Structure 1
Amino acid sequence: MADNKDMLEEEPQNEAQNEVTEEVKGENVEPQEVEPELSELDKLKKEVAESKDKYIRLYSEFENFRRRTAKEKIETIMNASEGLIKDLIPVLDDFERAQKSIETTEDVSAIKEGIDLIFNKFQKTLVSKGLKAMESKGEVFDVEKHECITQFAAGDDKKGLVIDEVEKGYYLNEKVVRYAKVVVGS
């Protein structure tokens, strides 16, 4: 029995040794800090703060986008006519040469021919940019294309028709940019 008594005494020592051994091995984990549970009000406050932060960031991004696009639009408008101006400079040069030749030349037919060439070049440049003259004479009066400056008494066959064109109208890429000033039969 003494042996049993020794065994009983040894068992507690073995358990204590086992605990120490486990701690040394790192198996015994210290108790973790438990986050205190947030109250419903605190959770809602946190959500509101996050939503407010997201809103402010989104609003800032939108404002930056709006400013950037407005700046780009202004630059586009300012530079929109750049291509046209570049294409018209040679025509301007031709007009300057024509003015110089008018001063030194007495030949009217050469001057007329030069001016016709410049006019054709100018017209081709404008047509290449989308400008197209409007044909109005003999057409039915249309308020979308014509501006009636006066009416003229005409027969029943010319009533409502454009009798004369005082000033040509023009389209730019199929949009009316200048209404034709016309005389309409009544």
Structure 2
Amino acid sequence: MLEEEKLNQEETNEELHEEVQEVKTEEILEQMEETGESDTDNIEESDEEGTQKKEKSKFFKKDKKEKKDPKDEKIEELNDRLIRTMAEFDNFRKRSEKEKSQMFELGAKDIIERILPVIDNFERGLDTISEEEREGAFAQGIEKIYKQLTTTLEEVGVKAIEAVGNEFDPNLHNAVMHADDEEQGENIITDEFQKGYMYKDTVVRHSMVKVVN
């Protein structure tokens, strides 16, 4: 009996030992599998890091290659200076032309102001000539000279300011006399004592006039 129990006990111990061994073996296999996965992950991560490093290296190399040559930078600088100089010269040319035009207009205005009294004297002299005398050669010669002078002035841009019958305009007329007239409208010019003139768009001399109402 004792021997049988002993044998049974030994068989039971062997079975337990085998079961323990199987459990340990399974645990080792599971750990190996887990370790293998983590190694794979580590390998993938290291590959990604390597790729990023390569890309960064390529970027910096490309950046170095794209750096401009000193000669190209000098050419661009000179080209920019040339463009600026040309723009400044063009502005200077336009400004000079404008100043010349203004000087010419001022000079022309000064000459016209000197000629206007001559025209005034021609007109006064012609007004004193009677109808009979107008048929004479002398009177006709004076009138032709007067017309030639006024035509020449008109061709260069000088024109008389209209006054009689028009409304008074302080920009064009100089009122030296006022009167009341019920038959006339408000601020109407009835008489002109001295003719006014304009050179292009500039008033050379205001008209001296009489205004009613």
TM-score range, shorter chain: 0.3 to 0.5
Normalization by structure 2: what TM-score?
Answer: 0.42
Higher helix residue share = 2
| Max Rg structure | 2
